[in-house]
Amino acid sequence: MSGIDGLPPLREVIATHQLSAKKSLGQNFLLDLNLTAKIARAAGDLSNMDVLEIGPGPGGLTRGLLAEGARRVLAVEKDARCLPALDEIVQHYEGRLEVINGDALEVDPLERLTPPIAICANLPYNVGTELLVRWLTPTDWPPFWSTLTLMFQREVAERIVAQPGSKAYGRLALLAQWRCEARIVISLPPSAFTPPPKVSSAVVHLRALPEPRYPADAKTLERVVAMAFNQRRKMLRAALKGLTTDIEDKLRAAGIEPTERAEQVSLEQFCALARVLKG
């Protein structure tokens, strides 16, 4: 029996329900309940939080979140094969877990959860980055969530926390660090998963700031950053020439040399450029 909640070990659950990870859904199951509990603890004190989980699979992290005291968990699972296993957790934690069989990109968490809300997930690899960008770029800020505790491929995690001048620095780092505190809190080898992925993984914890670090119009900043890093080997005057005919003047007004490349420009400078372009 499992030490964290009295439910069967995950390998037994997977065997009982004849589950296997689907590559087409970006699935890699994390079966060590000590690790899933550790990830849940990395999300902080959840006793007064509702939690959104994406892609619970057989429910390892779900069980960790509930065992660590989450007030309520909404788990969104696209793979109907996993629902019977998750239903066992629903019955065990009566009233604290709701499971939706659906697409995370289409679910409105505020219809079912009460703030404060934390998001904690071993994200499916094929939609992880898209979900993160959506959560980082709402029209209004602060967002509906207070913290994100998310597992990614190690390479993606490093892009989120990267600093200017590094190879990993780019759009994700800027969008995350503009409005959040971001840090890697756990690293996991491929052997922690079934089946083992080809790369290592890492858990990133992001805390939403009350206000962005620097003033900027969100849509303008997103457009500038996307264009700048889409052609990161080019000088900014070339990469951003489609924005305006006088881009060199706008860059200098923001304190940026037109001959610099995107990876050399700080978050503060990109925000300044967004303000100059917005007028």
Tell me whether the omega of the peptide bond preceding residue 116 falls within 30 degrees of 0, making it cis. Answer: yes
| pLDDT for residue 1 | 41
| pLDDT for residue 166 | 94
List per-residue pLDDT tens for the chain, 279 residues long.
Answer: 466 788 999 899 988 988 876 776 666 788 899 999 999 999 999 999 999 999 999 999 999 999 999 999 999 999 999 999 999 999 999 999 999 999 998 999 999 999 999 999 998 777 889 999 999 999 899 999 999 999 999 999 999 999 999 999 999 999 999 999 999 999 999 998 888 888 999 999 999 999 999 999 999 999 999 999 998 889 999 999 999 999 999 999 999 999 999 999 999 999 999 999 998
- Buried-state track 212-238, b at ≥16 Cβ within 10 A, e below 16: bebebebebbbbbbebbbeebeebbbe
Q: Is the pTM of this model over 0.95?
A: no
Tokens standing for residue 242 = 């489609």
Could you tell me what percent of the chain has a pLDDT over 70? Answer: 97
CA distance 185 to 1: 28
Instruction: Read off the pLDDT of residues 160-172 as tens digits, 9 standing for 90 and up.
Output: 999 999 999 999 9
Task: Indicate the pairing of strand 29-30 with strand 193-194.
Answer: antiparallel
| pLDDT for residue 249 | 97
| pLDDT for residue 83 | 97
| pLDDT for residue 197 | 85
